[in-house]
Structure 1
Amino acid sequence: MRYIVHEAPLRRAPSNITAMIDLEPFGLPGEMEQVWITPPSGTTAAMACVPFRAYGLALNDVVGLDTHRRRVRRLLRSSGHQAFRLHFSRCSEEEAAILRDGVEATVERMGLGCEWSGDRHVVIDVPPGVELDPLEPVIRDHVDTGRASWEWGHVEPFRI
């Protein structure tokens, strides 16, 4: 089993806990994503991180948990946030560092938050009504030449 973890979740608080999402329904058999959630109220909690691999979930979404509170089972209410994922797998180390610096500076300037999975995969929290137009010039050349790829986390619904 391979575990995807969030080392710096956007809404991490001392009272938050982790839960697991099985990634097999998203084409990643043998992988689980460990996500951060707010303290559960019964079998309900809110996402305190932006999922790297699970589709259909975003920061602040309200989710239903199994009875052991260790597995996310369903999306109960969308927060309206979206997850924008950017992966630069075909960049040299130097290009990746430059792209990472550009992405981080742009995200900060826009007042947004992001989380990194390694040094080549970033997920950006996009609140309702926010457009990512300022990010486009930073990533355009890398995407156009196939050195980077992107996707929205809502291209597929959440499922178990």
Structure 2
Amino acid sequence: MSPRIEVERGDITEVEVDAVVNAANSSLLGGGGVDGAIHRRGGPAILRECRELRAGRYPDGLPTGQAVATTAGDLPARWVIHTVGPVHAKREDRSHLLASAYRESLRVADELGARSVAFPAISAGIYGWPLPDAARIAVETVRDADTAVEHVRFVLFNDEALEAFRGVAGT
């Protein structure tokens, strides 16, 4: 059964869910946009676990389309699921990698036992993915996922993203 999908404008660092998805860069060490906001608001515990992941399982960084979880530190969520979305490229179709970022995040959520998950618009910021296509891939992937997650919230940073996701989600 597909998770119930909600679309809202807001600050993903303030959402009360089991897991918040971080649109991370492969270093896992923080950055700009959603990634920087999650690291700043979540505090040093998130960075500490990310450094441990880099020292162990992911010495070369987290591959694009993959996901891994850490504590949520000071965030209202229990966990942060870090995923690396692809940079948009006009000459190469990387849609499968964007879909994988959502699918793998839900797989990790299932492993954690998370029932509610908040997603940003992965790759639709600095990575340049056109919003209408990013929204379509996100919503279709979540709807089609084989997951025990019951509730997915797309928490979006501006009105343009909100409208793109609402248009696809039908909310």
TM-score, normalised by the number of residues in structure 2:
0.28
Please, what TM-score do these two structures have when normalized by structure 1?
A: 0.29
Could you say which structure has the larger radius of gyration? 1
Q: Higher strand fraction: Structure 1 or Structure 2?
A: 1
Select the structure that is richer in helix. Answer: 2
Higher relative CO (Cα under 8 Å, sequence separation at least 6) belongs to 2
